Amino acid sequence: MPKFEIKLTTLLEDVASRGGSDLHLIHGVPPLARIAGDLGALSYPALINGAIQDLLDPHLNDYQKEIYKRENRVNFSQTIGDWRFRFSVYQASGEIGASIRVLPQKNYPISSLGLPAVVGTLAHKKSGIIFITGATGSGKSTTMAAMLEWINQTGRPGKIITIEDPVETVFKPRRSVFVQREVGVDTPSFDAGIIDSLRQDPDVLCIGELRDERSIYASMVAAETGHLVLTTLHTRDASKTAHRLVTAVPTFQQDLIREQLALTLEAVISQELLPRADGKGQVVCCEILVSTPAVRQMIRENKLEAINDAIQAGMQQGMMSKDHSIRNLYANGIISRETALDHMRHPETLR
């Protein structure tokens, strides 16, 4: 059978140049691209008879091939041409497949992402933990990179350590120096990387994702010991973030984790991408919880459902509810009324 003639670089540049976010290589179907949130087939033949392997082989080094051979999965990032991509290579139904995310070409200013000014203020905190949350593909990594670059350009001189799987944005030092470590390459796990970092004199610690009980504990310890910690979770709002952290540990340790969270939490930035009314891509809506004495007490007393009420009442402290963010987008003509109604918690409040 003839080989698939197109190179992976051609497919990736096609997706990236059209503003797409992901390329999917799945056996038996043409290459798929997600553009402006919608998934569709590109104008290429179906990927059969080893075509995906042929596409990926030039981009996998011997170490990555060995991991895939052993585990039927491997994750890594790579710069190709003017773009950087995050690869997730896997096996499904006995066939190799891949999902490849287009990473931002540059670090965008916080203001250009549509995030409120309080996000920049939070980035200048000296200690504590800030969670950036949302579903997969909601722009969490872009927001975190923007906050790190804001620190890099405007903050006090310091050392920033990132622990990622894989490394996504490569930073150039300005006012900060960066040590960027990749799980599986530079450190065996997130929790090991976090604990090691405490011996490496960081000012800011960026953790790509909290995945388990051990990484949650380690991040809390880092925040307790006087470091600013930025990290992400796949939760949709502040109350669910607190609930996820507390229930990730055994019942007999939940009082301890609530106390640690009450002491160290600085903010939760929850975000979602919505389709623009003009059809030109997506725009972020966000909910922001800023920790106050009242919020800390809610966490200690396990009144997590009351956090949403605290956000509604906390606008003077820089808080913002999801509904308020959506109403602003609709009022400015950025999203349609239908989109606003579909995503608001209380659509009956839309005027």
CA dihedral 279, 281, 287, 290 (to 10 degrees): -140
User: Global pTM?
Assistant: 0.84
Q: Per DSSP, which regions of the chain are E strands?
A: 20-25, 32-35, 38-41, 73-80, 83-92, 95-103, 128-133, 158-164, 176-182, 204-207, 228-233, 265-275, 282-290
**What pLDDT, on a 0 to 100 scale, did the predictor assign at position 49?**
83
**What pLDDT, on a 0 to 100 scale, did the predictor assign at position 1?**
41
CB of 266 closer than 8 Å to CB of 291: yes
Q: What is the pLDDT along the chain (351 residues), one digit of tens a residue?
A: 445 678 999 999 999 988 899 999 999 999 999 998 889 999 999 999 899 999 999 999 999 999 999 999 999 999 888 788 999 999 999 999 999 999 876 777 888 888 999 999 999 999 999 999 999 889 999 999 999 999 999 988 999 999 999 888 889 999 999 999 999 889 999 999 999 999 999 999 999 999 889 999 999 999 999 999 999 999 999 999 999 999 998 999 999 999 999 999 999 999 999 999 998 889 999 999 999 999 999 999 999 989 989 998 898 889 999 999 999 999 999 999 999 999 999 999 886
**What pLDDT, on a 0 to 100 scale, did the predictor assign at position 4?**
61
Q: What is the C-alpha separation between 151 and 145, in angstroms, rounded? A: 10
Q: What is the C-alpha separation between 319 and 33, in angstroms, rounded? A: 36
Closest CA to 139 of 319, 271, 330: 271
Q: What is the C-alpha separation between 1 and 106, in angstroms, rounded? A: 41
**What pLDDT, on a 0 to 100 scale, did the predictor assign at position 184?**
86
